[in-house]
Amino acid sequence: MNKPHRSFDPNRVGRLEAVTWVSYYRREWVRFLRAALLVTRHAFGLSWPETLKAAWLVMRANQFWAPQVDNDPDRARRAMERFYALLRRKYDERYDPHVAATLEVDWWRIHREHQRDGSPLTEEALIEALAKLYAYAYGVPEESVRLAAEQRALAMRLSDRWVNEGRDLDNPLVADERAALVRSYAALLAAVHVA
């Protein structure tokens, strides 16, 4: 039988994660935490006490990362390291939580730098960073999670446009972003379900 974090519902998780992204960029931390709780619960199949702890760690990591100026990548990485350690203990995974957290915060950095005009980083660098994280965390080949990474990068591009256009909840880009996240999770599930 597959472990819960390898047999999630991609539609539910993708839709919930879209809520976390929207609330993150609108700095609606209560809404973010509520959605993060549900994403964590449904994506990783944790007990409610574990879900509370994991979602709190993800929210804190995002808060440390969020400021454009004077953010704290080291504290963000440490919070994500604790998150990955929790999952490793729960499911007897073989990855190093420090490495997983470093890969996580690295794609955050690449995404932020890619958003800036004149950045030498391309969307391909973001896709590669995402695929590297997925492959490492799930113990699968990078090429098997490439589509998941591409769809997540597309969701980010749509989200970035939405942010630049004013963060209006009625903007159709929100639905497009949500659909890309669902496709990303469907591709990830296909890659890790049997691993």
SS (HEC) of 2-39: CCHHHCCCHHHHHHHHHHHHHHHHCCCHHHHHHHHHHH
DSSP secondary structure of 77-120:
HHHHHHHHHHHHHHHT--S-HHHHHHHHHHHHHHHHHHHSTT-S
- Token pair belonging to 129: 């960073």
pLDDT tens digits for 26-51? 989 889 889 989 999 999 999 999 99
Residue 149's pLDDT is what? 98
Whole-model pTM over 0.85: yes
Measured CA angle at 7 (ends 5, 8), to 5 deg: 75
- Token pair belonging to 47: 């007990």
Fill in the DSSP letter of residue 167: -
Would the CA dihedral through 23, 26, 31, 37 be positive or negative?
positive
**Residues 162-170: contacts with CB within 8 Å, 24+ apart?**
162/25, 163/25, 167/22, 167/25, 167/26, 169/22
Measured in whole angstroms, the distance separating CA 191 from the mean position of its chain's CA atoms is 16
Residue 42 phi, psi (nearest 5):
-80, -30
Specify whether the CB–CB gap between 100 and 84 falls below 8 A. Answer: yes
Residue 195's pLDDT is what? 57
pLDDT tens digits for 167-184? 999 999 999 999 999 999
Give me the residue label for tokens 């909840």: 169
Q: Look at 185 and 193; give whichever has higher pLDDT.
A: 185
